[in-house]
Amino acid sequence: METCIFCKIIKGELPAHKVYEDEDTLAFLDINPTSAGHTLVIPKGHYANFEEVPEDVLKKTILIVKLIGQKLKDGLGVESYNVCENNDEAAGQLIPHIHFHLVPRYKGDGLKPWPQAPYAEGKAEEVLKKIKIN
């Protein structure tokens, strides 16, 4: 896609601090990191969201997510990291090219992914009826 920032990075039209690259996948440091080492992993093909990505491409991309996660642990000495994919605009996806965030985490860093609360009485059953697959 001509206007996609990530596609421009893939083509070399915009700079990036590349962590990993192969023929199908690119990983680079986030320009506005949540913590040092915050890395984005993207397929080189342009797919707007999770549902658009072909399974074979998704499998390759996830294996690179795993590789980068281990490198964050080994190279930075972090104990943990979050993997996040914001799927579409309402979920916080700013660039419509699927990407996975790997955010290094440290004990006591104060980062909280999102608030949580229990279901109201009967709500879990209502939701389950709408999304249950089997």
Domain boundaries, the chain: 5-131
**Given 17, 38, 97, 99, the catalytic residue:** 99
pTM: 0.93
- Of the candidates 107, 111, 87, the one whose C-alpha atom is nearest the C-alpha of residue 99 is 87
CATH number of 5-131: 3.30.428.10
Q: pLDDT tens digit string along 82-114?
A: 999 999 999 999 999 999 999 999 888 998 878
Give phi and psi for 86, each to the nearest 5.
Answer: -80, 110
Is there a catalytic annotation at residue 99?
A: yes
